[in-house]
Amino acid sequence: MTMILLSRTQVIKELPNVGIDKLIDAIVSQNKGKVVVVDFWATWCRPCMAAMNASKEMKKELEDKNVTFVYLSAPTSDKNEWEEIAKSEKGVHYFIDSESDWRFLSKTLNFSAIPTYLIYDINGQLNKQFTGYPGPDKMLDYIKKLLP
């Protein structure tokens, strides 16, 4: 697996070498023991970009906590723009370059709009799923309730 370490808190990775039906499980299991926040987004999505910007202070507050932010970008994103955004957004970044893989994920995870979020507890169990950014305070509350 290729990994570009941008800093201690920003990482661009290639998708795990598993079938698309096992992708989310593989990503969550790589972060066992942590709360995992998965963000489905795209570079052209203004609500997605606004949510990332609004989350910066919240993420600073969680820096020393057991939380991993994972970003899965839609294949409709411009890859160069995605990489530039990934360099400035704390978290682990994956680019899904297959439309059929994106459709599979959105169908099996039951979402049709972005941003969509999945929040997993420290045991790797999905605790919350929602579409649309609830704001940094609510997001922080969701995450803090799952921290040990």
Each residue's pLDDT expressed in tens, for the chain with a length of 148 residues: 444 444 445 688 888 889 999 999 999 999 999 999 999 999 999 999 999 999 999 999 999 999 999 999 999 999 999 999 998 898 999 999 999 999 999 999 999 999 999 999 999 999 999 999 999 999 999 999 999 8
Domain residue ranges of the chain, discontinuous segments joined by +: 3-144
Scan for tokens 């995870």, then name that residue.
109
Burial class (CB in 10 A: 0-12, 13-18, 19+), 65: middle
Task: Report the phi/psi class of residue 74: left, alpha or beta, with left for phi > 0 and alpha for psi in -120 to 50.
Answer: beta
Which residues are bridge partners to 11 per DSSP? 5, 92
Q: In the CATH hierarchy, which fold is given to the domain comprising 3-144?
A: Glutaredoxin (3.40.30)
Scan for tokens 């790797």, then name that residue: 124
d(CA 23, CA 140): 25
